Amino acid sequence: MSDMSWLDWPFFEERHRTLAREVDEWCGTALAGVDHHDADAACRKLVKAMGEAGWLRYAVAGGPGGGWGGALPEVDSRSVCILRETFARHEGLADFAFAMQGLGSGAISLMGSDALRERYLPRVARGQAIAAFALSEPEAGSDVAALACEARQDGGHYVLDGVKTWISNGGIADFYCVFARTGEAPGSRGISAFVVDADTPGFSVSERIDLIAPHPLGTLSFENCRIPATQRLGEPGQGFKLAMMTLDIFRASVAAAALGFAKRALDEGLARARSRRMFGQTLADLQLTQAALGDMATAIDASALLTYRAAWLRDVRKQRTTREAAMAKMTATESAQSVIDRALQMFGGAGVVSGMPVEKLYREIRALRIYEGATEVQKLIIARELLKA
Ligand SMILES: Cc1cc2nc3c(=O)[nH]c(=O)nc-3n(C[C@H](O)[C@H](O)[C@H](O)COP(=O)(O)OP(=O)(O)OC[C@H]3O[C@@H](n4cnc5c(N)ncnc54)[C@H](O)[C@@H]3O)c2cc1C
């Protein structure tokens, strides 16, 4: 087991310490031998297993009477971060599957009608429905307010036309939270959000995309795709705000996933440094190795402090944490890349052999510096918040 002393930090309550120990124990047995050759099948299996074990209940809100299926009335950021950190430390695909159930259904938790919440959220929490978040487009990634996918109102229906790309779970999701232009105002104020079931006529997954660290990912096409107006989330024109609110909840958890990858890399690096003999001693006896380990451990703690500060502020102080979550996401993802790179270096040639844990981590971490706002975007968010004050 990795060093768990961080759980004594004042950000946590006893329930968080219990959760961390229980999920770590579960991961130790349930995640052994995930088959990476078929990412779709692996993710379906993981969602089912995590649903049955009860972990997915932390990815959705429970609602006032608990009827939406979540473990707690609202999504608890510290629980989500602890779960993502632990899943990532054991198995990247488990982290991905968990995170997408939350991100893919977050907009329903936040602004869905009671009927939509009751229809979708309990199945997400039980692992019986796979969720996806469809915001990005070929010409609207970082500049997401430029999105062009259109939803035209037609009586009691909306008709969607356009393309979404880079959509995680694209191809295996049962439903998609889709952000489309409804035209109430120019730019970001003319966007609304909808839940689209995967079997809706006019909807298709037009392309699957292969990644360096395989995850289900695809491009979606909407061609005259007709959905009832009751599938809309929130008021017309509120879609952009809803997308940003959803990302705000989960952005700190991307930092937590990076933290899990970095901690695993440090554990792997330490084991290698202690066991590898060279120049009549171990790699760990060499001062350059010790300097690397010192840097790695400090970067990890700094990332963890930023991550759990953001989560704590959101949970306990009920604050919007735009600046804090951006700082955590930027720092944790950038420093995890460097921690993993240094761990891989300690393995020499063995570090670049396919299937080695450090090699997998090296591929796994890269996308986290890009999605849910690239590092450059996080810097701009932080500066904007500072200048606003
Ligand atoms: C593995 C993966 C999973 C994803 N999952 C989802 C998903 O589930 N749903 C979804 O909607 N989207 C998803 N995305 C899309 C992701 O959010 C976008 O890739 C991201 O927003 C960047 O958009 P882009 O790829 O179009 O790059 P671009 O917008 O073209 O940006 C390219 C680069 O430009 C730089 N840049 C950006 N802004 C600035 C600036 N202001 N100044 C200087 N440089 C800048 C950054 O380095 C950035 O990486 C996913 C992406 C990946 C890689």
Separation of CA 130 and ligand 1 centre (Å): 23
Is residue 334 within 8 A of residue 369, CB to CB? The reply is yes
The predicted model gives 176-181 an average pLDDT of 98
Residue nearest (by alpha carbon) to ligand 1 atom 44? 376
Q: Which residues contact 6 (CB under 8 A, 6 or more apart)?
A: 301, 304, 308
| 177 close to ligand 1 (CB < 6 Angstrom) | no
Give, as one character, the DSSP assignment of residue 243: H
β-sheet bridge partners, residue 217: 168
Q: Which residues contact 355 (CB under 8 A, 6 or more apart)?
A: none
Separation of CA 365 and ligand 1 centre (Å): 15
Residue 11, pLDDT > 60, answer: yes
The predicted model gives 262-284 an average pLDDT of 98
The predicted model gives 20-33 an average pLDDT of 95
Separation of CA 381 and ligand 1 centre (Å): 15
**pLDDT on residue 218:** 98
Task: Enter the tokens of residue 29.
Answer: 């047995």
**pLDDT on residue 36:** 85
Residue 221, pLDDT > 80, answer: yes
Residue nearest (by alpha carbon) to ligand 1 atom 1? 367
| 380 close to ligand 1 (CB < 6 Angstrom) | yes
Query: Residue 332 is which amino acid?
Result: A
Separation of CA 68 and ligand 1 centre (Å): 31
**pLDDT on residue 304:** 98
Residue nearest (by alpha carbon) to ligand 1 atom 7? 167
Instruction: Report the helix count and the strand count for the chain, using DSSP H and E.
Output: 10, 10
Helix (H, G, I), strand (E, B) or coil at 235: coil
Task: Tell me the per-residue pLDDT of 303-328, one tens digit each, with 9 for 90 and over.
Answer: 999 999 999 999 999 988 999 999 99
Residue 65, pLDDT > 90, answer: no
Band the pLDDT of 202: cuts 50, 70, 90: very high
Give, as one character, the DSSP assignment of residue 185: S
Residue 159, pLDDT > 70, answer: yes
Band the pLDDT of 72: cuts 50, 70, 90: very high
Residue nearest (by alpha carbon) to ligand 1 atom 52? 371
**pLDDT on residue 215:** 95
Element (H, E) at 250: helix 239-275
Band the pLDDT of 244: cuts 50, 70, 90: very high
| 336 close to ligand 1 (CB < 6 Angstrom) | no
Residue nearest (by alpha carbon) to ligand 1 atom 23? 141
Band the pLDDT of 1: cuts 50, 70, 90: low
- Selected catalytic residue, list 85, 91, 268, 372: 372
The predicted model gives 47-61 an average pLDDT of 97
User: What ligand 1 atom has the least distance to the C-alpha of 138?
Assistant: 26
Separation of CA 291 and ligand 1 centre (Å): 34
| 339 close to ligand 1 (CB < 6 Angstrom) | no
Separation of CA 345 and ligand 1 centre (Å): 28
Angle at Cα 362 formed by Cα 335 and Cα 254, nearest 5°? 50
Give the CB-side neighbour count of residue 359, counting CA atoms within 13 A. 10
- Quote the CA–CA distance of 17 and 1 in Å, as a whole number: 14
Mean of all residue pLDDT scores within the chain: 96
| 182 close to ligand 1 (CB < 6 Angstrom) | no
The predicted model gives 276-284 an average pLDDT of 98
- Give Cα separations from 178 to 105, 107, 237 (angstroms): 11, 10, 13
Residue 204: CB atoms within 10 Å: 15
Task: Tell me the per-residue pLDDT of 94-140, one tens digit each, with 9 for 90 and over.
Answer: 999 999 999 999 999 999 999 999 999 999 999 999 999 999 999 99
Give, as one character, the DSSP assignment of residue 176: E
Residue among 101, 105, 136, 366 whose CB has most ligand 1 atoms within 8 A, to mutate: 136
Task: Tell me the per-residue pLDDT of 349-368, one tens digit each, with 9 for 90 and over.
Answer: 999 999 999 999 999 999 99
Length of the chain: 389
Nearest C-alpha neighbor of 321 from the set 241, 259, 251, 232: 251
Q: Is 268 a known active-site residue?
A: no
User: What ligand 1 atom has the least distance to the C-alpha of 142?
Assistant: 29
User: What ligand 1 atom has the least distance to the C-alpha of 104?
Assistant: 8
